[in-house]
Amino acid sequence: MNQPKATKPHSAHARHGSSSFASLSAISLATLFFLWPAFYNRFPLLMADSMTYLADGPPVARAIFLHQFSVYYGMRSLIYSLVILPFHRNINPWPVTVIQSLAAAWVLWLVVRSFSTRNTARRYLYLTALLSVFTSIAWYTCFIMPDVLGPLAYLAIFLLFFAQQSLSGVEKTGLVLVAFWGITAHSTHLLLAAALIFLLALYAVFERWPFRRTVPALGRVSAALLLAVLAQIALYAFLDGKPSLNGERPPYLTARVIADGPGRWYLQSHCATERWAACGHLANLTGDADSFLWGDDAPYEIASEDEKDLYRAQDVPFFLATMRAYPRQQLQRSAANFLGQLMAFGLYDFDSSDWILAQFNQTIPSSRASYLRSREANNALPLDALTALQFKTIFASLAMIAVFVPLLWRRHAKSLPGLALVVFSTVVLNALLTGALSIVDERYQCRVIWMIPLLAGICVIDWLEQRPSTTDASAHVSA
């Protein structure tokens, strides 16, 4: 009787499914996949906020490196603006899209590799190609905005928590840096990352992870969060002399409860006896949060600097006062906003505006002519078709995930339920934080919704991984 040949333990390359050259080739190809919307558009994708991020980097850099301080640095993520500055240098935004696409390609490579020990490069390329065509990920890697960095930070947290054994020391450090950049890129990302880490801690307790495994896993993800918090506090303290997590953040909570109704009712009942910043604008308050914050006649926009300071100082106290006065009504409005945001993930933010064109002269004047030739500048992008395609993809992916739930439950694998926890928690918490506490906007949910098709694809890869390979089958027959 033939004895089966002894098999050697998997080498690092065999375990990861490909050589270093194949890995680099696959990541490079996926980066190109994620760049196709910019090539199709003939220019990186922009919105009004993009111009702010491009413009805010130089004054922050001058303050840090030359000690040339400014009166105002902007209200958005200064760290995101600072990180992308060396790549665009107020000349050309194309390198920013390359860096974001490369970051997405690398993080997804590590995710796929953590589930696959054979045919990894091929499976990875199939998955990233499908995601780039059928979901919003490629549109957001080509978007001069920090939106794609949130999901990358959450996936980095997943890898650091669940896939420690598949990562080298350099990769763990790189993922901590990706998580750091993503968390600092937007205040929503910070809140969501903190909630996610808390949920992962509960998961470890529920699954009765041993202490020696739980502590290092939580230590790495918590280090990324702590580093992000300390960096933001230190940066604002250095620039403004006041430690802060988000600088001069607009009063989003005030705008939300006023637009929902309970905030207006509270002001109408209490302005006679209490001093709230919005009391001077009772006649201009509407049911639209955007109309309160932005625009020529918006109460917050036309307020003096002292009034804006008062608005920001009163943001949380006013929100809490409204909640105490009208808890049921506000919770009902918040639930409706949450559900509305959960289902709002269309690709509708890629259009031109006169404001964007006007900002080119101050921000990246040498690229204005190139932008004017883009499809976005001429409102020629097929946004309705892209949105319809993504909706079909999301619902098909949910159906596919449902099919794999019995297999997932039966195997009770650690990583796949962990990825499902991260993906669905991200989608739900993102809708809650943005819809209920800020405004309902298609962009907010669109930036994370591609994680659902990613999870469906990983389910397929994990299923393929459990099937015996041709080599294994041949060895079994010869035995």
Higher local confidence (pLDDT), 35 or 409: 35
CA angle 442, 147, 45 (to 5 degrees): 80
Token duo for residue 175: 């993922």
Tell me the residue range of the domain where 319 lies.
252-338
Where does a domain end: 278, 307, 338? 338
Token duo for residue 70: 């400014």
Are 88 and 211 in the same domain? yes
In a domain, 300, yes or no: yes
Model confidence, pTM:
0.91
Q: How confident is the model at residue 286 (pLDDT cuts 50, 70, 90)?
A: confident
In a domain, 196, yes or no: yes
In a domain, 433, yes or no: no
Token duo for residue 385: 């078709």
In a domain, 417, yes or no: no
Are 48 and 170 in the same domain? yes
Are 291 and 258 in the same domain? yes
Written as one string, the DSSP assignment of 47-103 is -HHHHHHHHHHHHHHIIIII----S---SS-HHHHHHHHHHHTTT-SHHHHHHHHHH
- The model's pLDDT over 89-101, given as tens digits with 9 standing for 90+, comes to 999 999 999 999 9
pLDDT value at residue 353: 86
38: nearest Cα among 116, 113, 99, 106 = 99
- The model's pLDDT over 367-404, given as tens digits with 9 standing for 90+, comes to 999 999 999 999 999 999 999 999 999 999 999 999 98
pLDDT value at residue 411: 62
In a domain, 45, yes or no: yes
Average pLDDT, the chain: 89
Are 54 and 170 in the same domain? yes
Are 284 and 327 in the same domain? yes
Are 226 and 175 in the same domain? yes
Are 244 and 288 in the same domain? no
d(CA 137, CA 35): 10
Are 180 and 221 in the same domain? yes
pLDDT value at residue 409: 64
Position 405 pLDDT exceeds 60: yes
Are 274 and 223 in the same domain? no
In a domain, 398, yes or no: no
- The model's pLDDT over 452-478, given as tens digits with 9 standing for 90+, comes to 999 999 999 988 888 776 544 444 444
Are 154 and 189 in the same domain? yes
Are 66 and 175 in the same domain? yes
Q: Determine the straight-line distance between the first and last CA of the chain, rounded to whole angstroms.
A: 8
- The model's pLDDT over 42-93, given as tens digits with 9 standing for 90+, comes to 999 999 999 999 999 999 999 999 999 998 888 788 999 999 999 999 999 9
CA angle 317, 266, 321 (to 5 degrees): 25
Domain count, the chain: 2
pLDDT value at residue 477: 43
Where does a domain end: 338, 373, 399? 338
pLDDT value at residue 67: 93
In a domain, 36, yes or no: yes
In a domain, 327, yes or no: yes
Are 241 and 258 in the same domain? no
